[in-house]
Amino acid sequence: MQTKLIGGGTAGLAGVELGIDPTFQAARICARPLDYAALGQVLGHYRVAGATGALTVLSAGNPFFSFRWANANAYAVVQQIKMSGAITTAFGAAQVNDIDMILARSFTASDTGGTALTPTGNTGKMRTSMGTTQVADIRISTTGTLTAGTRTLDGQVVWNGLYATGNTAVTGSVVDDVIYEPDLGAGQHPVVLGQNEGFVLRVVTTMGATGVVKIAISVKWAEVVVF
């Protein structure tokens, strides 16, 4: 007996039979964006980017970027985070210039200070027909640390790396270094943020006197319905 797999039709169109590759006897499939409209909700895919001001004298553990999700009826699926940074004024002495990424739970009050990057209206949408993002708060530092809101950070970070090497202004910068990106081909589960969860980017090594840096961050995420 032969079994056929037929996809569900939409808008009055008949379903399509699953194709099987004749050489490798494998299903013919293609990658596609996550579904973002279901159960009466129209969510979407989004991207935001921003840069700090002239950061100086941040202490170890100080946050300079924060992303908070608060919606109970949808998830935020983090798809990519990129970073680039450079020294704009040399430090008094050479030092490591590193940051980390840590997940936050029970994130019930947003961080404050800096510059808010939270999109409104059509800003950040990857398609105009998508809904306005439901993200609670996204922000980046100007010249100093963000002030932590109400949140519990995990005991270990999920990423740690350098954004600049050496100690000379505007040299040794890292351009679009991928902080986070799920390797779905290898079965890696993406970061999925539920209600009152998020992530924070922090300085790891205290910045020495006189030194100034500038860091740029971009984030891609999808908002999908909770089933």
Q: Where are the domains of the chain?
A: 37-225
d(CA 223, CA 74): 7
What number of other Cβ atoms are within 10 A of residue 20's Cβ? 11
| pLDDT, tens digit (0-9, with 9 covering 90-100), for 134-161 | 999 999 999 999 999 999 999 999 999 8
In sequence order, the 6+-apart residues with CB closer than 8 A to the CB of 31 are none
- In tens digits, the chain (227 residues) has pLDDT values of 455 556 555 544 566 777 777 787 787 666 667 788 887 888 999 999 999 999 999 999 999 999 999 999 999 999 999 999 888 998 888 888 899 999 999 999 999 999 999 999 999 999 999 999 999 999 999 999 999 999 999 999 999 988 877 787 775 556 668 888 887 766 678 999 999 999 999 999 999 888 999 999 999 999 999 87
3-class DSSP state for residue 131? coil
* Of the candidates 81, 79, 105, the residue with the CA atom closest to the CA atom of residue 161: 81
Tell me, what's the pLDDT at 118? 97
CA distance 14 to 7: 8
3-state secondary structure of 97: strand
